[in-house]
Amino acid sequence: MTDSTSFQTLALSAPILANLESLGYKEMTPIQAASLPLILQQRDVIAQAKTGSGKTAAFSLGILAKLNPMYFAIQGLVICPTRELADQVANELRRLARAIENVKVLTLCGGTAMRPQIASLEHGAHIVVGTPGRLIDHISRGTINLNTVQTLVLDEADRMVDMGFYDDIVHIIKASSPRRQTLLFSATFPDDIKRVSQELMRDPEQIKVEAQH
C-alpha cells in the first residue's frame, strides 16, 4: 500500500523516486502533497505555506519531471529575492537532479562579475536560478534567451514585491515563453501578488497550508 503522502503516488520517473528515497525524503510534506499533483498536471499553481515546509522540492520536482536533458536550453527559471536564497534553491535542485544525467543548473545573481555569467550562458544551462536585477540585466543585454522556459517559478514572491522588484518580475515573466507553466510561492498573498497572478498566470489553482505537520 502507498498512502497519499508517499512520493510513489506521483507521476515521477523511477530514478527521481529512487533519488528522493536516497535523500531520505520518505513522505511528502503537506504543501508538497497538496501542490505536486496539480504541478505535475501542468497547472499554474499559487502555493502559500510557511518557511521550512518544503516548497523548494515542490517546484523543483515540477521542473525536473518535464526536463529533457538532451535539449540544452533553459527549460526551468526560478526567480528568488536574494543571492542566498538562490544558492539554496540551486543546491536543492542539484541534489534532486542527481537522478537525471548531466543537468546543468546555473545561478545568476548580482554582486558577481558579469563576464563569467555571460560565458556560462553561452555554454548553456537547463535551469537558471536568479535574482530579479541580474536577470533583467541579462535580458536587456540579450545574453539570455527565455523563449524555451517551460516552468517559471516565483519563489518568495511577497518578499520580492516588498523589496521593490514588482516591475522587474513582470518584465521577466513577459520575456519568457507564453507556453510556460507558472508557479508562485509566497508566505502571504498581498494585492500586488494577486495582480501578478491575475495578469500573468493561466487559471491558477490556489493552495494554502496553514499548519506544520
Binding residues vs ligand ADP (CB under 6 A)? 25, 28-29, 32, 51-57
The nearest distance, CB 47 to Mg ion, in angstroms, is: 10
| Nearer to Mg ion (CB atom), residue 23 or residue 73 | 23
Please answer whether residues 156 and 135 qualify as being in contact, where contact means their C-beta atoms are separated by less than 8 angstroms.
Answer: no
| Nearer to ligand ADP (CB atom), residue 17 or residue 114 | 17
Q: Tell me which residues in 36-95 interact with Mg ion (CB under 5 A).
A: 55
Classify residue 46 by burial, with Cβ atoms within 10 Å: 0-12, 13-18, 19+.
buried
| Nearer to Mg ion (CB atom), residue 36 or residue 175 | 36
Closest CA to 199 of 209, 186, 184, 210: 184
Q: How far apart are CA 44 and CA 182, in angstroms?
A: 5
The nearest distance, CB 156 to Mg ion, in angstroms, is: 6
Q: Which does 57 bind (CB under 5 to 8 A by kind): Mg ion, ligand ADP, none?
A: ligand ADP
Q: Which does 25 bind (CB under 5 to 8 A by kind): ligand ADP, Mg ion, none?
A: ligand ADP
The nearest distance, CB 166 to Mg ion, in angstroms, is: 19
| Nearer to ligand ADP (CB atom), residue 57 or residue 144 | 57
Enter the DSSP assignment of 27. Answer: B
| Nearer to ligand ADP (CB atom), residue 18 or residue 119 | 18
Query: H-helix or E-strand containing 76?
Result: strand 76-79
Q: How far apart are CA 95 and CA 55, in angstroms?
A: 15
Q: How far apart are CA 145 and CA 25, in angstroms?
A: 34
The nearest distance, CB 211 to ligand ADP, in angstroms, is: 14
The nearest distance, CB 94 to Mg ion, in angstroms, is: 16
Closest CA to 185 of 162, 164, 159, 154: 154
Q: Tell me the residue type at 84.
A: E
- Interface residues with Mg ion (CB under 5 A) are 55
